[in-house]
């Protein structure tokens, strides 16, 4: 591809074109300010590649999501969350023995420093578990000093393993605290996901039996959330990490960003919306509200910055709802409402023209609710699963020789320079 020439501010600037392995090429504008004295303006980064990455590829028009080249549908069907973690961190699928060793390492890190349990008691019982996650994950850097030197690859690796391993323990404790039940220590004889289910729903007084179908469904939900290119929370982790901040602080920043309803908080908002809609006969009223420019209401779990087609993760989610219902012998009528809402929205010209399709959050709440999670835990589960993506992206950034501190510029529209007026003269 030939480079582009930009004629601006009376100058002609050559902008090199950089090619990736697939997907759109990018114009390299790094020298533009020095050459022209002008910045580019792109709020929301709709046309800006902020980094080079070999982890995850999305083709939003075709509804394609690849991790290290592997389609998400294949990973969700045939793989396990541990295997996907290994793939994201190391670039290749593990052999049998590599997977065994990796799973053992992760399970060795599942316990929390005992003193961290006291942090929970400082929170109100009705605190949102995402607030607890932000606080406790941020506090990890006060406990694991031996893995905060970001220039040491070995320490980065240990911090990555610790974060992936401890997140289920932290998340389950946030839940236990909210319901007033005792914390459960991890049981490393269980799988990553089975252990999380037990720490969440088990009690010390009785043995907990993991339902294999539920374990598989939740593991698949973790796979579907593991990474998603340069989304808001991942970009937050990268930006925080670009200053040299320690990994625990960076992941806490990512969790804070994920909480927003336009991002990971949408799974909670989507189920709340379905509950508010209730029965299919009320759908037209909510469709009309979503289309009304003067009403801030949006269909939660619908639309995506990148996908202008069906989110491939939503396809897997919809199928998983049926599997979980069959395994638990339940049938939430909200699933019917969701299916009809999807059908009505997809046949409506407003949603068709704007290319708004169900995203990963549309069906996930129905599954998580059937398993027994309260809505406030939904985004926590997203954070748990996305932790591997965040740490993989953070590691990639630190190893990138082109990495610099993230420092966007601005179009200044405030007052021009003026003289201070003494208080007595105002």
Cβ nearer to ligand CMC, comparing 169 with 320 = 320
Q: How far is the CB of 361 from ligand CMC (least distance, A)?
A: 5
Q: What are phi and psi of 27, to 5 degrees?
A: -90, 125
Q: Tell me how far apart the alpha carbons of residues 129 and 376 are, in angstroms, rounded to a whole number.
A: 7
Beta carbons of 15 and 3 less than 8 angstroms apart: yes
Question: If binding is defined by CB under 6 A, does position 368 make contact with ligand CMC?
Answer: no
**DSSP state at residue 282:** G
Question: If binding is defined by CB under 6 A, does position 383 make contact with ligand CMC?
Answer: no
Question: If binding is defined by CB under 6 A, does position 130 make contact with ligand CMC?
Answer: no
Q: How far is the CB of 394 from ligand CMC (least distance, A)?
A: 18
At a CB cut-off of 8 Å and minimum separation 6, what does 426 contact? none
Q: How far is the CB of 260 from ligand CMC (least distance, A)?
A: 8
Q: Exactly one of 246, 361, 390, 394 binds ligand CMC (CB under 6 A); which one?
A: 361
The tokens for 195 are: 């252990």
- Tally DSSP H helices, then E strands, for the chain: 18, 7
The set of catalytic residues is 304, 361
List binders of ligand CMC among 221-250 (CB under 6 A). Answer: 228, 231
Beta carbons of 225 and 386 less than 8 angstroms apart: yes
Which of the stretches 23-31, 235-243, 325-333, 351-359 binds ligand CMC when contact is defined by CB under 6 A? 351-359
Cβ nearer to ligand CMC, comparing 87 with 290 = 290
Q: How many residues bind ligand CMC (CB under 6 A)?
A: 20
Question: If binding is defined by CB under 6 A, does position 352 make contact with ligand CMC?
Answer: no
Q: How far is the CB of 399 from ligand CMC (least distance, A)?
A: 25
Radius of gyration of the chain (CA): 23
Question: If binding is defined by CB under 6 A, does position 190 make contact with ligand CMC?
Answer: no
- Spatial CA neighbour of 247 closest among 157, 174, 116: 157
Q: Tell me how far apart the alpha carbons of residues 177 and 129 are, in angstroms, rounded to a whole number.
A: 9
List binders of ligand CMC among 271-330 (CB under 6 A). Answer: 290, 298-305
In three-state secondary structure terms, 64 is strand
Cβ nearer to ligand CMC, comparing 305 with 319 = 305
Nearest-CB residue for ligand CMC: 303
Q: Give kind and range of the element (H or E) at residue 14.
A: strand 11-15
Q: Tell me how far apart the alpha carbons of residues 352 and 347 are, in angstroms, rounded to a whole number.
A: 7
**Which own/partner pairs from 114-117 qualify as long-range (CB within 8 Å, at least 24 positions apart)?**
115/143, 116/140, 116/143, 117/173, 117/183
Q: Exactly one of 266, 277, 371, 380 binds ligand CMC (CB under 6 A); which one?
A: 266
Question: If binding is defined by CB under 6 A, does position 262 make contact with ligand CMC?
Answer: yes
Q: How far is the CB of 350 from ligand CMC (least distance, A)?
A: 7
Q: Which residues contact ligand CMC by CB under 6 A?
A: 228, 231, 262-264, 266, 290, 298-305, 354, 356, 359-361
């Amino acid at each position: 591809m030939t480079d582009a020439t930009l004629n601006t501010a009376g100058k002609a600037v050559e902008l090199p074109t950089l090619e990736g392995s697939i997907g759109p090429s990018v114009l390299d504008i790094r020298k533009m300010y020095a050459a022209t004295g002008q910045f580019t303006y792109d709020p929301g980064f709709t046309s800006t590649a902020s980094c080079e990455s070999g982890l995850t590829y999305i083709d939003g028009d075709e509804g394609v999501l690849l991790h290290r080249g592997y389609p998400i549908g294949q990973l969700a069907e045939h793989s396990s969350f541990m295997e996907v973690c290994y793939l994201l961190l190391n670039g290749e699928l593990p052999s049998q023995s590599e997977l065994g060793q990796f799973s053992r390492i992760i399970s060795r890190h599942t316990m929390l420093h005992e003193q961290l349990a006291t942090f929970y008691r400082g929170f109100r019982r009705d605190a949102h578990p995402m607030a607890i996650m932000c606080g406790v994950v941020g506090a990890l850097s006060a406990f694991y000093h031996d893995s905060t030197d970001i220039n040491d690859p070995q320490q980065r690796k240990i911090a990555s393993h610790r974060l992936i391993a401890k997140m289920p323990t932290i998340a389950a404790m946030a839940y236990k605290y909210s319901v007033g039940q005792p914390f459960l220590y991890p049981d490393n004889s269980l799988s990553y996901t089975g252990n999380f289910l037990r720490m969440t729903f088990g009690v010390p007084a009785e043995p907990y039996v993991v339902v294999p179908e539920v374990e598989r469904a939740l593991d698949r939900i973790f796979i579907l959330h593991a990474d998603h290119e340069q989304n808001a929370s991942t970009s937050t982790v990268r930006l925080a990490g670009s200053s040299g901040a320690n990994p625990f602080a960076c992941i806490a920043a990512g969790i804070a960003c994920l909480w927003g309803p336009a991002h990971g908080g949408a799974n909670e908002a989507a189920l709340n919306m379905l509950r508010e809609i209730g029965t299919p006969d009320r759908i037209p009223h909510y469709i009309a509200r979503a289309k009304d420019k003067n009403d801030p209401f949006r269909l939660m779990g619908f639309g995506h910055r990148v996908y202008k087609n069906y989110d491939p993760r939503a396809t897997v989610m919809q199928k998983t709802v049926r599997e979980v219902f069959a395994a638990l012998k339940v049938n939430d009528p909200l699933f019917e409402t969701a299916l009809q809402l999807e059908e009505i929205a997809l046949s409506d010209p407003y949603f068709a023209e704007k290319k708004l399709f169900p995203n990963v959050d549309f069906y996930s709440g129905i599954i998580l609710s059937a398993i027994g999670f309260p809505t406030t835990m939904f985004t926590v589960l997203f954070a748990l699963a996305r932790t591997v993506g965040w740490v993989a992206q953070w590691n990639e950034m630190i190893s990138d020789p082109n990495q610099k501190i993230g420092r966007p510029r601005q179009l200044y529209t405030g007052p021009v320079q003026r003289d201070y007026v003494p208080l007595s003269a105002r």
